Amino acid sequence: MRRDHPGLSWPRPPGADRVACPSCDALQEAPRLREGEAAHCGCCGEVMFQNRPRSLARATAFSASALILMVLVHSFPFLTMQATGIQTRLTLLESAAALLNDASPVLAAAVVVFTIVAPLVIAGSLLYVTAPLRNGVALPGALTLTRWIERCQPWNMLEVFLLGLVVSLLKLGHLADVHFGIGLWALVGLVLCLAAALAGIDRRELWDRLEVALHSPPRRP
Amino acid sequence: MNRGTRAIDLGLASCHTCGRVSPAAAGHCPRCHSAIHLRKPASLSRTWAFLLAATALYLPAMTLPIMDVQGLGGTGPSTILSGVITFWEMKSYPVAIIIFLASVVIPIAKVGALVWLCLAASGRAAGAPKHHAKLYHLTELVGRWSMVDVFVVAILATLVQLGALMTITPGPAALSFAGVVVLTMFSAMSFDPRLLWDREFGGSRAA
């Protein structure tokens, strides 16, 4: 129940001592893992879950950094282009607005969901859930938000957008004066922080800790 | 190989959202309240349906223009493939290769892989379940990178608005292509990799 046993596995709610391999459905006892270890399925060898080192601290720190970088990403342009006295700048919102003006509202909505909404839901929910969990507390709505983290993960495409930026840069380089902005470096940081936050805590550990927190009376320090 | 008990034999389901093992008859996961099933419902039919829809959308995505370059330096509408060829002729090999991989190789390979997995799950394709499972994880991982071309069009349409000199607007293929990527992602999500092992275990029990 306490978090001052860094070598030990996370607290487990009753009934969570069995695991069915997500790949082959073999039912087995869920082993207790030390930090840095991974549990492999005894039947197909697939990794079933892991105990990430200092998971809650890392998930909290990286999701908080991701949120801060997100502010920078939306305030400063990735690229600015100068040609014949006209200057255009690129941010995520402006790219969605341009698509809207070009009469492709569905495409604009897709860009907003894949590059703004999904990353925001993931980073915001992860911070909201993991930070209080460090003290064994689950805030109201934590269950719903954790479900949304799972749901949003495949649709977070910021790293794909970053590759798109690189390709566009190569395309435009010879055409006009293109300058990098702070937004581009913030985006690189955001992609890395989001990946680190999600990789920082195993899905199973997050759910186990959440269940323990929800079913135990609040502790006073 | 260790052929232990499987969750389905005891009527137990592991939740798709949180991984908790609980009786499937309850219908809902006691921990995260998501709906639970022994296997993803109608997995193969849904996977096939999304695959068919994606393949149908792939035709307009390749034949219609993905963007329209207007103005003095404009080259008019261009499709995905004509864009790849232009960049290859301009000796911008990295751009040509990335676009070709993301827009042609990955979608086709992904659809091919899912067709093979569906056939394997219904016992009509050869191969070990272990290799099929690897293939499934790879398809899940790689699919979203196809979206890069759509983002490139969105970025160019935002930046290149230089009035009479040059203006880029997205073409109908951009939307079709985004549809292809989303549909193949839905298709991969509907597929249940445990079906690959069900035949293996079922077969061994009958023998």
The torsion angles phi and psi of A62, rounded to 5 degrees, stand at: -70, -35
Tell me, what's the pLDDT at A181? 86
Taking contacts as CB-CB distances below 8 angstroms, the residues of chain B near A114 are 147
Q: How far apart are CA B7 and CA A42, in angstroms?
A: 14
Range in A151-160, B9-18, B66-75 the model is least confident about: B66-75
How far A79 CA lies from chain B's nearest CA (Å)? 8
Interface of A with B in 127-146 (CB under 8 A): 143, 146
Tell me what the mean pLDDT of segment A99-104 comes to. 83
pTM to 2 decimal places: 0.90
Tell me what the mean pLDDT of segment A78-88 comes to. 81
Taking contacts as CB-CB distances below 8 angstroms, the residues of chain B near A157 are 144, 147, 151
CATH 1.20.140 fits B42-206, yes or no: yes
Q: How far apart are CA A70 and CA A65, in angstroms?
A: 8
Is the pLDDT assigned to residue A175 strictly greater than 90?
Answer: no
Spans of all domains in chain A: 56-201
- Within chain B, residue ranges assigned H as helices are 43-63, 80-89, 93-100, 106-121, 129-142, 148-159, 172-190, 194-206
A197-214 pLDDT, tens digit each? 999 999 999 999 999 898
Tell me, what's the pLDDT at A3? 46
Q: Under an 8 A CB cutoff, do B155 and A95 touch? A: yes
Is the pLDDT assigned to residue B207 strictly greater than 50?
Answer: no
Give Cβ neighbours of residue A158 (< 8 Å, ≥ 6 apart): A114, A115, A119, A187, A190, A191, A194
Taking contacts as CB-CB distances below 8 angstroms, the residues of chain A near B94 are 170
pLDDT more than 90, % of chain A:
48
Tell me, what's the pLDDT at B204? 44
Q: Touching check for A42 and chain B: CB below 8 Å?
A: yes
Are A75 and A56 contacting, i.e. CB atoms less than 8 angstroms apart? no
Q: Under an 8 A CB cutoff, do B159 and A99 touch? A: no
pLDDT band at A191 (very low <50, low <70, confident <90, very high): very high
Tell me what the mean pLDDT of segment B47-64 comes to. 95
Q: A2 by DSSP, 3-state: which? A: coil
Tell me what the mean pLDDT of segment B189-202 comes to. 86
In this complex, the residue of A20, A104, A146 whose CB is nearest that of residue B170 is A104
Tell me, what's the pLDDT at A45? 86
Tell me, what's the pLDDT at B46? 95
Q: Touching check for A161 and chain B: CB below 8 Å?
A: yes
Is the pLDDT assigned to residue B168 strictly greater than 80?
Answer: yes
What sign does the CA torsion over B158, B160, B163, B167 have?
Answer: negative
Q: How far apart are CA A74 and CA A99, in angstroms?
A: 17
Tell me, what's the pLDDT at A2? 44
H or E, element range at A165: helix A158-172
User: What is the value of ipTM here, to two decimals?
Assistant: 0.90
Tell me, what's the pLDDT at A219? 55
pLDDT more than 70, % of chain B:
94
The torsion angles phi and psi of B137, rounded to 5 degrees, stand at: -65, -35
In this complex, the residue of B21, B95, B150 whose CB is nearest that of residue A18 is B21
Is the pLDDT assigned to residue B48 strictly greater than 90?
Answer: yes
What is the bridge-based pairing of β-strands A27-29 and A18-20? antiparallel
